[in-house]
Chain A
Amino acid sequence: MAANQLPAIRHVLPLTTVLLERKLPAPGTVTVRVREKVQPSDVVAEVQPPAKHYFLDLAAGLGIAEAQVGRYLRVEPGVPIEMGQVIAGPVGIARRTMRAPANGRVLTLSRGRALFEALEEPYQIHAGVPGVVVASDGISALTIETTGALVEGTWGNGRRGWGVMRVIGQGPSDRLHTTQLDVNLRGAVLLAGVCDNAAPLHQATELAVRGLILGSITAELIPIALRMVYPILLTEGFGTAPMNRFTYDLLNSNAGREASLEATLREPYSRQLPEVIIPLPASPRLSSPERAIQLAPGVRVRCMRAPHAGTVGTIRHLNPKAESFPSGILARSALVELEGTGPVSIPLSNLEVLG
């Protein structure tokens, strides 16, 4: 029973080995080697952003036939050149030349024209966590291994940050207010309850916070959250559901430590989840988080949907037959011992494993 349900798994682990993938948006250079130790601010990979290309009409500019252009070319295709450097010429009595409009390189010739690529400042990726590089393809992706606490979230605003984690508010269901945000929190990663208005998000920007970890925000705040320059990570979703107690307690117990926020904006079929990593020393080699855990008695689960959204419990047993719920929906279910509520039947589709 239930072998045909492979539930989502959300890792909330006090100490584990975390493998963090860093990937460039396009092939470039990985600047660190395998087995090299890195610090959060280290540049680990860089790439030239998509270059701008120009056709330089050499034939017209020099007043020669297309077929003659190769004869007057003064640079090797593919070799970097500086702005103002002569590309082709001189030609004739007037000693006409064509010069590079920017730092870049000539790529190829086509119908008497040179395809010129202008180069810009490289795009860099930082390690984000202290750790050791354990894999690299040399051109676009590397994996950093670190040990520590791991909390996977449900939504992120696409930003990344690093700082000392500070707790604000009275608990996981406490609403975030501007009055809770003062100058002492400048540069910190903040752990709070829920947010249902824009003012605290804007105030956090003014305080230059390094990140915000919340249970929920109301969905109307999504466009604002996406505009914030600091990372925002949600553990539950949208609305006013408090952060589940299990996650809150784990994060709260690490207050004062440095935390890395990977508030990844989830795309369908993306392998990267939004996550909080709190690096912690660990002497023996720890195992990595399980990739998949089947629903079974004794497994800790989190309920994703109302009326028990965000509540954590333990599966008592899997019901052998489909069950009808108050909405009239018929679904396979499990009897879950919910913390603070007691045993409740919940559709298997509404459960995710807290691994």
Chain B
Amino acid sequence: MSTILETDTLLAVDVGSVNTRATLFDVVDGRYRMVATGRASSTAGSPLFDVREGMHMAVDELSAVTGRPLLDEAGSLILPMTTEGAGIDAFVATASAGPRPRTVLVGLMPGVSMESARRLASSTYLNVVEEIGLLDRRREEEQIDILVAAQPDLVLMVGGTDGGASASVLRMIETVGLAVSLLSTAQRPSLVFAGNRALGAAVSEYFQDRAPVTIVPNIRPSLELEEFEPARLKLSEVIRQLRAGKIGGFEDLAAWSGGSMMLTADAFGRVVRYLSQVYDPDKGVLGIDIGASHVTVAAAFDGNLNLRVNSDLGLGTSMPGLMRYASIEDISRWLPGDETPGRVRDYLYNKALYPGSLPTELGDLHIEYALVRELIRAGIALSRGDWQKGAETPLLPALEPIIASGGAIARAPRPGYAALTLLDAIQPKGITTLVVDPHNLIPAVGAAAGLLPMITVQVLESGSFVSLGTAVSPVGHARQGRPVMRVRVEPEGGGEMSEGVVRFGQVVLLPLRAGEHARLTLRPESGFDVGFGGQGKAGALRVAGGALGVIIDARGRPLELSNDPAERQELNLKWLKDVGALK
């Protein structure tokens, strides 16, 4: 396995359900930089069901762009790099593609271990089909039938604090054992025990001849403490193995990665958590990844990560799942023109049939990004109940930065389109920075961080991520057109100063180019709070520029859209134009 000293060139591959991406990193002037990316169709699904072909196509494209051979004639990675400059020094792979293992959760107390099990399951790629708990009112034999009928790929067993309950845990284990013994060898699920650590050996021994069992660290070592990270990393390995049984090529990728292959969500969460330790500790970091099959929401507060993989949400095959959380009217409220509910509904379901297809007409684009807004809103709503901060208030806690990734964000026709989508969907308050990941580097950087700890910060600082700008969103409400605040932007180094009054209902862009900094002075009217300690409190801070400069979103928080369809559509159109999303 490569070490930090030996490693210069790193290839990262991420296998999604629609795309496979390959990214080459190299050391330039002593720091890691993204050199190039290659993208190809994912071949995890029909017709090949083998991730290697997609990986080869993406790496071939990378080779064509860089002129550097990366694969040998047999299609294997050239590892390590040759003296002629072919190949790479290190390889990391991440994957979100693949069927989600059908999972039965088995635990003790509904509000304790079962709740923790649910949270663990929702933080990764599992499809929970059944739950069995200690207070389950069904008879034991019914529980056995349920376990058998569920045809699980995985049974996740939890319960008991370390040194705590043992008899009830072992009774529950026996129920699982009886159910497993009724299944044929080919049908037997993988078993994971994440409960009372003292029972690990007994559980292993009990299942010895029945089914493979993986003992992972207790997710609830005490009543007050919940620990997911160690268990999740081991659980990820079980998920990868289950997927490898159904889709070819994962074992090759894992072998090239030195035996470890991360799940995309884990790598994504790792980056968000790291950033929360680097940025303002009083604010959280929010990461959102909108994939075809999943919407992943990672929120971290001073190193504490909350990760949620919403597998029933996604801009592709999981699209119909949105209907559980949003109505057609909810989606249509973001449109700048009139569309029938039937057309919006047809669009949504067709997107599930053709997840990789692109909107080429303007009307379709607006529907697609209205769906993205509601996907983000649903993803955050499902996630934020578990956040360490701000779970109890309707507005989100202060966030810095907000990072968005995924195909829809990457291919937004203009930066303004991406920015307005994020502002509408997330409705941040106060001052934050909107960052997008157009090359889908976060999984690569997260996976590589285990091998090269310095790569995260070096790539982040290299400009490979695109800052849309500093967004200022005052909290408060007023009548349309009433002054909200006075703003002054003084660029460092003597650029042209801009100053003016922003009125309620406006979205205003103040120019400040990427790489430039400025002193931003905000003087809110009474009744508006921008995060300087209360309503009407003025202040100044140093801000960085971006693709759109400084974005003042004076539409109020929470954002209230007009009930009159014509007025609402007119305003949606105006805001799109104001942020330069439309020509």
Contacts and interface: CB of A to CB of B under 8 A. Distances in A.
B145 to A, nearest CB: 5
Given A51-B145, A271-B49, A220 B342 contact: yes
Contacts of B46: 8, 269-271, 273
A328 B365 contact: yes
B348 A269 contact: no
A326 B99 contact: no
Contact of A305 (B61, B174, B359): B359
Contact of A237 (B53, B186, B349, B360): B349
A224 interface: no
Interface stretch (A107-115, A142-150, A177-185, A249-257): A107-115
For chain B, the bracket of interface size reads 35 or more
Contacts of B140: 55
Contact of A329 (B47, B317, B411): B411
B332 interface: no
A268 B364 contact: no
A195 B125 CA distance: 37
A297 to B, nearest CB: 19
A329 B99 contact: no
A331 B364 CA distance: 15
A271 B58 CA distance: 24
A331 to B, nearest CB: 5
Contacts of B361: 306-307, 325-327
B363 to A, nearest CB: 8
A4 B353 contact: no
A255 B17 CA distance: 38
B181 A53 contact: no
Interface in A67-89: none
A219 B145 contact: no
Nearest to A272: B46
Interface stretch (B36-44, B221-229, B562-570): B36-44
A155 B353 contact: yes
B346 interface: yes
Contacts, number: 162
Contacts of B504: none
A222 interface: yes
Contacts of A3: 57, 60-61
A52 B145 contact: yes
A304 interface: yes
A319 interface: no
A268 B293 contact: yes
Nearest to B366: A327
A307 B360 CA distance: 8
Interface in B325-360: 342-343, 345-346, 348-350, 353-354, 356-360
Contact of B413 (A154, A270, A329, A346): A329
A269 B353 contact: no
A154 B346 CA distance: 14
A327 B360 CA distance: 5
Contacts of A304: 354, 357
A329 B57 contact: no
Nearest to A293: B47
B413 A328 contact: yes
Contacts of B345: 218-220, 238
A219 B348 contact: yes
Contacts of B411: 329-331
Nearest to B185: A27
A306 B582 CA distance: 20
Given A6-B53, A331-B360, 14 more contacts: A4-B57, A6-B41, A54-B141, A117-B182, A218-B342, A219-B342, A238-B349, A239-B346, A304-B354, A305-B357, A329-B365, A330-B411, A330-B413, A331-B411
Interface of B: 17, 38-41, 43-49, 53-54, 57-58, 60-61, 98-99, 139-141, 144-145, 148-149, 151, 174, 178, 181-182, 184, 186-187, 246-247, 293, 317, 342-343, 345-346, 348-350, 353-354, 356-362, 364-365, 411, 413-414, 417, 582-583
Interface of A: 3-9, 25-27, 50-55, 107-108, 110, 115, 117, 139, 154-155, 218-220, 222, 237-239, 266, 268-271, 273, 291-292, 304-307, 325-331, 346-347, 349-350
20 contacts: A6-B40, A6-B41, A6-B43, A27-B187, A53-B145, A115-B141, A117-B182, A139-B184, A218-B342, A219-B345, A219-B348, A238-B346, A239-B350, A269-B246, A305-B359, A306-B361, A306-B364, A327-B362, A350-B357, A350-B360
